[in-house]
Amino acid sequence: MTRLLLRRLLLLLPTLLGVTLLTFALSRAAPGGPLAFLATSETGRGLTAAELAEARRARGFDRPLHQQYITWLGAAARGDFGVSEARGGRPVAELLRERVGTTVALQSIAALLIYLLGVPIGAWCAVQAGTRSERWAGALLFCLHALPAVVIGTFLIAWLCVGAGAPLPLLWKSVPTGVTGLARLAHWAEHAFLPIACLVLASLTGVARYARAGLVETLRQPWIRALRARGLPERRVLWVHALRTGILPLVTLLSSLFPWLVTGSVAVETLFSIPGLGSFVFESVRDRDDPAVMANALMVGAVTWFGFLVSDLLHAWLRGGEQAP
């Protein structure tokens, strides 16, 4: 386990370097360069050619690309991601700190619910494999999986916000100043219900199908038949013995669930006007906010690496300390 952890830690730096280097190259190759926002009168300051050239020199964008990247990398290592021209010159690190709490809370609850609901559904489908009810359930899950998160969110809005007597709010509103205790929690839960439901429904099928596939294969093993022959209750065979082996595909899925929740929250947070990291990614790309785009790329790379790390460690633990492949 320790050797596995050390190997994954050694991969962190090359992973982040690769992600940021590719994002840096693409941002510099895009039309208009990193100061395209300032050159557009509709969205920025509408600088003249002379003013734009002076802004490039002041920010070091006239230097060779490798020097620009090394300078950015050194500042990022100190936690300085530059300033956001699209947001009045505010530090990008400050903007990230303001938004990270909301996104982490929404994604953590969504990930927990995805597994709490998906695993039992997958287990039921495995036990009922081949029956008519299981085929109908599989068809419904497939249809749900085919819907993008933004479509699911639109349906939820029409049903729970616009429908007759629907009590849930459409847009996100921060907790008012002075509201504390249960009232604060109730306000947050009321506004978080639809975004969390959207994230859960968009990912539930994947977990359920992985759980079904793993448990169907496990329940066919000879050692499962031996446990049944010994008179063990079917519930104990399924949830204690079979699940430990059948859950391995779900551990693999976990490595992709973390980055998906980050990218999936882009549509959900934009749809519900949530001031989180997902909407920040969308706004940064839309506004050609180069420092914010670089910081978001670094964040997504780190989350992806963390997902693979958690997946590998869980694999090793479930296999009794063996090293994950």
> Which pLDDT score, from 0 to 100, does residue 166 have?
66
Q: If we measure between CA atoms, which residue out of 99, 17, 24 comes closest to residue 91?
A: 99
Q: Tell me: the pLDDT tens digits for 261-286? A: 666 788 888 888 888 888 888 888 88
For residue 248, which of 193, 197, 210, 200 has the smallest C-alpha distance? 210
- 260 — phi, psi (to 5°)? -65, -40
The residues, ordered by sequence, that sit 6+ positions from 67 with a Cβ below 8 Å of its Cβ are 60
List of the chain residues with pLDDT < 70: 1, 31-48, 163-166, 255, 258-263, 318-325
Give me the residues paired with residue 91 across strands. 83
pLDDT of residue 121: 92
pLDDT at 136: 93
The reported pLDDT for the residue numbered 113 is: 92
What pLDDT does residue 213 have?
Answer: 85
DSSP state of 175: P
Give the pLDDT of residue 147.
87
Note whether 198 and 156 are within 8 A (CB): yes
Residues comprising the chain, all counted: 325
Over residues 133-145, the pLDDT tens digits come to: 999 998 998 888 8
Domain boundaries, the chain: 93-318
pLDDT of residue 265: 80
Return the CATH fold of 93-318.
Answer: MetI-like fold (1.10.3720)
CA–CA separation, 49 and 47 (whole Å): 7
The token pair that represents 221 in the structure block: 């093993």
pTM over 0.85: no
Q: Determine the Cα–Cα distance for residues 138 and 126; give it in Å rounded to an integer.
A: 11
What is the pLDDT, as a whole number, of residue 38?
Answer: 65
